[in-house]
Each structure stands twice: as structure tokens, then as C-alpha cells.
Structure 1
């Protein structure tokens, strides 16, 4: 099976700082999923908060794929979180999912979380979900989870600029606990594919961006090839999530997969760049 997994946020929302094509139409999503299957992609990542992406997937049919979806906020109550999960099954037109991730890490600190976790464990025993996990944004959150919970699956931000989880040894620790690791943000919402059209809020990193592009040029790879293969060749990572708007983009991704030795990172230790929620755009 491919180490690539398909993110589906673009199937339900207009997503990505450099996305100029908007939400993918249904017919285009069908082509994308057909192509993904032909290239042995077996995992789709979605969430009820991704617009109508779950419904789109359900209309097309996803029984040939492993599905990973996510919870709504625990602030809405345990019953509503569970009800939302059952609604996801209905929307996806499936009877079970491979993974259910706690979407907001703050939920793990909520006084109701023990109750929710027991309910999720029941869902796992009843085979409605195979893996329980968490979606994270920072190394501190990963540390918190490693210290406090046993879990099966984690989604983390990871890319050639953001190697904090290698430097902090978290990826290695997750591997030792047999936690399946899915890497998202491998293109940093498109920044790593195209530096030309960024607005002035990114100007403070211009020197580093220029230096990185020289490094990539010297490698003989394109920006897409470098960013993609950097993540794919990181041994600790089990799945690399890519999001596309159309079949053409997915073909470009497949063409960019290389039999490549490990590539050098270009770490930029600035959370204001690495965390898209902090971007001033």
C-alpha cells in the first residue's frame, strides 16, 4: 500500500492559502478517488467540520478505503460528540471507520474526557472504530499525550521546515509505543510549493525562503518533489497526508514520488510560520 494518504478538506471547503480553484466539484472528487485507488492509496482523512466532505465521500462510496474522521468539541457534551460520530457514519455511508481522532487536544483536559474515552473504547470493542487517536498541533501536545494516555493513532504537523518532532524525539517515542503516525501540513498549506505569491506578512522569512529554494535547486528536485519526498522518506511516519483539488494535482503528486535517499531538512524554528492559525492573512 502507498505511504500516501488523501486529505479531503478540499472536497468540502475552499481551503489553503494558495488555493485558487476553490472547493472540488463532485465529478472531480470521483476522478480523484478513482486515481487514488489505482495508485494503492488506502486511507482518507476527513472530519465533520470539513464542510460537506463526509457527505461527498458517502455519495461516491468509500468502502474500498480506510477512513479517519474526527470528533466535534467536547464542550458540546459527550452525548453530542457520540451523536456526531454516528452522523459521520451515516454521511459517509459506512458502518465503521479505521480511526477516530480527538480533533481538539484541549478536550483531553476536560473533566468529561474520561467518560468520553470509555465510550470511544466501547465503540472500538464493537468494531465501529479500529483506532482511537488525537490530532495535534505542537510538540507540547504530543508530550502531554505520551505522558497521559495510551492511544493507537496520532496526526501531527510535519514538513521540511517543521522538524520539531524529530529534534524533540517525539516521533521515536511514538514509534516505540506502536502509535501509527500520520503527517499533515507537508506542504505547509502550499507555501512549500510556491513562494512567489505570499503577501507581506511572510516577508520576514524571505532570506530563509530564498536559501531553501537554492538548496532544493541544488538537489535537482522540484519544490513539490523535495517537500513530498522529505516526508515520505522519514521512516517514523506511517502515512503522509496530501490534499488536492483535482485529478491533475494528484497525478503531479504521484509523478513526484522518487526512490530517494533521506533528504536534508531546512528547520525554521518560528511558530509564527509553522502554525497556520497564527498567520496574519
Structure 2
């Protein structure tokens, strides 16, 4: 039985994105993908104020009303860095304005979850308290943080007023597991979504496709390709199954730029790979350096 569910990420719908700088699809194509996803078992949609026009695209989809709003779980994020250099007294005004802008673009009067996009804000009591005022105002149902580092994830778990966390996790990026984040989360009721299962497509690339600024990733990409061939697996299936076996994760956030890719990912997600096979392969990628697995550190 699959415990982890899929969440459709929408960054590709709002801007050119990915290691190859894939072109964003047109609004009509993107809405078609959202339609297909929500008619085929995906009820959770992830977007952000910083994802170009992504919120507008999700709003165009919601306006069609092909599925009832209360059947969907919509997540968006507070624009990064907006509170830098701002006095504490202005936090509420700025955060409320940004959230109202998001709700207007989406054409909805509430979010199911609202996340801080600047993970370092999780260390500020004042910012977390202000975020929770959005919940008290009835504009969001749950609040949380999109994190990048294990220390940020642990701070989320430590805070009783943070209910939701999105974190990077993949067969190439096992930092959260190694740091004990999932173990610590067992004691808490925090909901965890994982992103970057494919690391912007790096896991799926041929060695010759890896850009020069990531040259040191080439042997790693080659190794996963050989291991998948040896076990008769596709890299998409391996990447998804690696996330699926982590019981603390409720949703795998993934992005697509075509309806064909969406259909393939939904189909492949249903396939199960034996846990011991996943573990054997995963052992080979336990200690990959952060500047390979974290796109924010890529020196393009």
C-alpha cells in the first residue's frame, strides 16, 4: 500500500526552471496538466509567490471549477527575504499584504498551508508568531517552513506552532535522514512534504548531459545509471521509491513540463521496488557533497 502521496509542484508553470532551463509551458497547457493531475488522484498542489506567474496559473485552473475547492489542498509560500531589514512592528502588515496578494492571484479566500520561503526565518520567534496570526485571521489552515538544512528542519520540529515542513530529500541527498530529522519528527505531529526527488533533473541525466558547472557530479550520475541498468530499474522509479519508503513523509512534491511526463510519473509512482534493493543502491550515495545536491549552491 502506498502511504506517500504525490503533490504537483508548479514552479515550472511560472518560470523557466530546471538544470537545463526548461521552458515553461503555456497557461492552457499548464491548466490541462493541473486538470489531469486532479482527475487522477492528485489533490495537493504546491506553489509560491516567488514562482513567476505560477500562482496565476493555479488561479486559472481553480476558476474552471472542475474540482471543488474543498477537495484540494493548496500550499503557497511567503515571498523570500521580504522581512529583511524590516522593523518587527511592520511584520504583520507586510506578511498580510503578501498573503492577500497570493490569495488574489489564486482566486481563493484561504490556503490549506502557508510556508515561509526563507528558511532562516524559522529561527525568529517574532516571524513565526506573525505567521501564526495569518492562521488566527482564518486565511490559512496550517503554517510552516520550506527548509534546506537539517538544522532548520530540527527547529521546525522543536517549535509547537509550526505544523508543516517541506524539505529536500532524494537518493542523492540523504542529509535529513543522516542528521536524524525523520526520527525526531516521529515525536511530533508535523506534516512533512519532500521535494527535489530528481534534483532538477540531475538524477535522470546521462553523464554527457551534465553541465560543466556540475562536472564533479558526472561519476555519480554514471554510477546510478549503471546500478539501475544492473537491477533493471528506471531512474524515475528508483528516485520516487526512495522517497516512498520514508514513512514520515506524507507527500512527494514533483514538477513536470508536459502532460506526457505527468502521465508517466503518475504511472511509475504506482510501481513498487523491494526495500532491500533500494537500500543497497542508496548506500552508494550516502555522502554526496552539499554543493552537488543543493541547487542553491550551484555556481553556474
Shared fold, TM over 0.5: yes
Counterpart Cα distance in 1 of 2:236 and 2:299: 25
Counterpart Cα distance in 1 of 2:110 and 2:178: 36
2:152 aligned counterpart, secondary structure:
helix
Match of 1:193 among 204, 227, 233: 204
Match of 1:231 among 243, 246, 256: 243
Counterpart Cα distance in 2 of 1:65 and 1:29: 17
**RMSD of aligned residue pairs (Cα, Å):** 1.9
Change (3 A) 1:74 1:209: same
- The residue aligned with 2:165 is 154
Whether the 8 Å contact between 1:43 and 1:65 is mirrored in structure 2 is: yes
- The residue aligned with 1:104 is 118
Whether the 8 Å contact between 2:13 and 2:57 is mirrored in structure 1 is: yes
Counterpart Cα distance in 1 of 2:217 and 2:257: 27
How do 1:165-180 and structure 2 match up within 5 A?
165-180=176-191
Please say if 1:279 is aligned against 2:298. Answer: yes
User: TM-score normalised to the size of structure 2?
Assistant: 0.86
Counterpart Cα distance in 1 of 2:156 and 2:130: 18
Unaligned runs of 5+ in 2: 64-68
How do 1:59-70 and structure 2 match up within 5 A?
59-61=60-62, 63=69, 64-70=71-77
1:44 aligned counterpart, secondary structure:
strand
1:36 to partner: Cα distance:
0.6
1:148 to partner: Cα distance:
4.7
Match of 1:128 among 139, 149, 155: 139
1:160 to partner: Cα distance:
0.5
User: Which whole-Å deviations, capped at 9, do the CAs of 1:50-81 have from their partners, x for residues lacking one?
Assistant: 01111111122172421111112222541112
Whether the 8 Å contact between 1:233 and 1:260 is mirrored in structure 2 is: no
User: Which whole-Å deviations, capped at 9, do the CAs of 1:80-114 have from their partners, x for residues lacking one?
Assistant: 1210101111110011111011110222345xx52
Whether the 8 Å contact between 1:2 and 1:41 is mirrored in structure 2 is: no
Please say if 1:74 is aligned against 2:122. Answer: no
Aligned length: 277
User: Which whole-Å deviations, capped at 9, do the CAs of 1:192-214 have from their partners, x for residues lacking one?
Assistant: 11133112232223333222222
- The residue aligned with 1:137 is 148
Unaligned runs of 5+ in 1: none
User: Which whole-Å deviations, capped at 9, do the CAs of 1:248-269 have from their partners, x for residues lacking one?
Assistant: 1101101212133322223233
Change (3 A) 1:209 1:60: closer
Counterpart Cα distance in 2 of 1:222 and 1:14: 26
Whether the 8 Å contact between 2:120 and 2:152 is mirrored in structure 1 is: no
Counterpart Cα distance in 1 of 2:19 and 2:130: 37
1:23 to partner: Cα distance:
1.1
Change (3 A) 1:144 1:126: closer
Whether the 8 Å contact between 2:4 and 2:247 is mirrored in structure 1 is: no
Counterpart Cα distance in 2 of 1:248 and 1:102: 32
